[in-house]
């Protein structure tokens, strides 16, 4: 899958003006908020991309596989990451950003998230939730809803990415 042509490299230290960052080579600083900001800037190609980046606490459950991320406008995707094991009732550090782009950009974002943190092993987990308004139905085709993915240097915090696609 190709990268969005003309993807923004402005701000956030994503890349210098003369040296764009290749896909999958985004520098990881160890700070999840910085990484998510860079991710949003890297994916946005339309100039509408990043609207907000906020901090809040979250301890919700009921997540689906990332494979279920569909490319239809109107989807909201949350990606929650924590190093170690899941424990119920724990408040989780959450960062969310609103991204408005094309369905194709949603697929690229999904691939980027998978590739950025897929490092092997089973110490770290990332779990995903996909919601629609109004709700849609789907089959997970037997896929496990927890993907054993890892990522570097993010400590023991959890983070949530909220992706909202505008109706085009």
- One pLDDT digit (tens) per residue for the chain, 168 residues: 322 222 222 333 333 333 443 443 333 333 444 545 555 555 444 444 434 333 332 334 333 333 333 334 444 444 444 333 333 333 333 333 334 445 555 555 555 555 544 443 333 334 444 343 433 333 333 332 222 222 222 222 333 344 333 333
For residue 11, the model assigns a pLDDT of 33
Strands 76-83 and 124-131, sheet pairing = antiparallel
Answer whether residue 10 is part of any domain.
no
CA distance 1 to 16: 24
Structural domain contains residue 92: yes
Q: How far apart are CA 81 and CA 38, in angstroms?
A: 17
- Could you report how far apart the first and last alpha carbons of the chain are, in Å? 22
Residue 153 has a pLDDT of: 28
pLDDT at 107: 56
Q: Report how far residue 108's alpha carbon sits from residue 43's, in angstroms, rounded to the nearest whole number.
A: 8
Number of domains in the chain: 1
pLDDT at 114: 52
Q: Which pLDDT score, from 0 to 100, does residue 7 have?
A: 29
Q: Please report whether residue 21 resides in a domain.
A: no
Q: Which residues contact 139 (CB under 8 A, 6 or more apart)?
A: none
**In-domain check, residue 137:** yes
Per-residue confidence (pLDDT) for residue 67, from 0 to 100: 37
Residue 159 structural domain: 46-164
Count of other CB atoms within 10 angstroms of residue 24 = 10
What's residue 141's pLDDT? 35
Any domain includes 26: no
Q: Domain for residue 64, yes or no? A: yes
CB-CB neighbours of 121 under 10 Å: 8
Report helix, strand or coil for 92. strand
pTM, two decimal places: 0.27
Residue 117 forms part of a structural domain: yes
């Amino acid at each position: 899958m190709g990268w969005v042509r003309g993807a923004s490299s402005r701000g956030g230290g994503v890349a210098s003006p003369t040296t764009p960052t290749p896909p999958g080579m985004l520098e990881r600083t160890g700070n999840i908020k910085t990484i998510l900001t860079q991710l949003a800037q890297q994916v946005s190609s339309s100039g509408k991309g990043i609207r907000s980046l906020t901090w809040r606490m979250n301890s919700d459950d009921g997540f689906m596989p990332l494979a279920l991320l569909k490319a239809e406008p109107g989807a909201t995707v949350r990606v929650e990451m924590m190093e170690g094991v899941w424990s119920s009732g724990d408040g989780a550090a959450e960062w969310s950003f609103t991204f408005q782009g094309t369905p194709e950009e949603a697929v690229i974002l999904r691939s980027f998230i998978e590739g950025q943190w897929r490092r092997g092993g089973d110490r770290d987990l990332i779990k995903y939730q996909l919601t629609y308004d109004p709700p849609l139905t789907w089959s997970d085709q037997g896929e496990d809803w927890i993907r054993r993915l890892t990522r570097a240097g993010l400590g023991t915090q959890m983070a949530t990415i909220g992706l909202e696609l505008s109706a085009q």
